[in-house]
Structure formats: C-alpha cells, structure tokens
C-alpha cells in the first residue's frame, strides 16, 4: 500500500443504544475487539512503511489482549467467547476496503470510533458495578487508541505508542 492515497473511511454509525441490555453490550464489545484485532493485523500487511506496519501489529496485539481480557466477564454473564463468523468476515472485508486508504485518513477515523466504544464501555460499568474495573480498563484502552491517533496526526509518531504500551494488560 502506498500510504498516500486518500480514500477516507466513512464515519462510524452509532454502535450502541443507551437502552441496550448489558448482555448486548458485552457481545458488541467482544465483537469490536475481534474486529480490531483482525483489522489492524490485515492493515499491517497493506502498509509499505515499516513503522506503520509495526504500529498496526502492536494495535492488533492490544486488541487481542483486550479481547482475551473480556472472556472472563462474558463467561460470568453466560455468553459465548467464540468469535462470531460474521464479525470475522466484516473485519476481513473492511481491511480489504481500506487497503488503499492513506495512513492519515485511516488514523483520522480513530477519533469518532474510539469515542463511541469508550462511551459503550463506560455504560457497561454503569450497568454492572461488579464489572466496573473491567469497564474502566476497556475505556482506558479506547482512550489510548484515540491518543495514538491524535499523536500520529500531529506528527508525534515517535510517542504514539506510549499510552498503548502503558496499558496494564500489555505489560
């Protein structure tokens, strides 16, 4: 991928409703981490720049570890921890659709998406106080991803992974 072609991804649709049941939010959360893990791994394959590839690999690892962290709360809620085939297909399709998107356009799409996920994760903590610590870690990982995007767009790429690498589940 040439890292320069401009085909900005479309804005994200609202991914949750405040009326969604906690079980629905857990499933959407897990599916989002599955999607992120696959998307970032596939995007790493598309970028020509070795630094961009490395950063996508780190983000894929973060999403995988976050997904793994979600397994215990899902099991406590009696929900499946098997990745949904539709989510996997969506992630693969999205990665293919974004294959020619410029780095800055791809990274520029992070802010609205991370804002929605952070709000959804905060809602989980509101609905289930017993899972507040997990919800707080989920919010922190979205804020770290948002900060990564901001730093990349501001030309501060040398520091963009700092907040990601500081997350407890990446230690």
Specify whether the backbone of 17 is left (phi greater than 0), alpha (psi in -120 to 50) or beta.
beta
Residue 105's domain spans which residues? 22-170
Q: Which residue has the tokens 């905060």?
A: 122
Residue 166 lies in a domain: yes
Q: Compute, in degrees rounded to 10, the torsion defined by CA atoms 62, 10, 43, 112.
A: -20
Q: Note down pLDDT in tens along the chain; length 171 residues.
A: 444 343 333 344 678 888 999 999 999 999 999 999 999 999 999 999 999 999 999 999 999 999 999 999 999 999 999 999 999 999 999 999 999 999 999 999 999 999 999 999 999 999 999 999 999 999 999 999 999 999 999 999 999 999 999 999 998
Residue 4 lies in a domain: no
Which helix (H) or strand (E) element contains residue 162? helix 162-165
Residue 78 lies in a domain: yes
Residue 5 lies in a domain: no
CA gap 148, 30 in Å, rounded: 21
Output phi, psi for 11, to 5 deg.
-65, 150
Q: CATH code at 58?
A: 1.20.1260.10
Residue 141 lies in a domain: yes
């Amino acid at each position: 991928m040439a890292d320069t072609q401009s085909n900005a991804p479309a804005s994200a649709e609202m991914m949750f409703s405040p009326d969604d049941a906690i079980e629905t939010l857990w499933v959407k959360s897990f599916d989002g981490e599955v999607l992120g893990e696959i998307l970032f791994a596939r995007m790493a394959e598309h970028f020509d720049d070795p630094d961009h590839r490395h950063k996508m690999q780190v983000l894929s690892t973060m999403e995988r570890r976050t997904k793994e962290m979600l397994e215990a709360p899902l099991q406590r809620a009696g929900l499946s921890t098997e990745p949904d085939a539709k989510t996997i297909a969506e992630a693969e399709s999205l990665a293919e659709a974004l294959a020619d998107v410029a780095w800055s356009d791809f990274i520029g799409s992070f802010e609205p998406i991370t804002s929605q996920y952070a709000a959804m994760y905060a809602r989980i903590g509101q609905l289930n106080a017993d899972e507040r610590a997990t919800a707080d870690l989920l919010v922190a990982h979205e804020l770290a991803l948002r900060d990564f995007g901001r730093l990349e767009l501001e030309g501060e790429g040398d520091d963009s992974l700092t907040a990601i690498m500081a997350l407890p589940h990446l230690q």
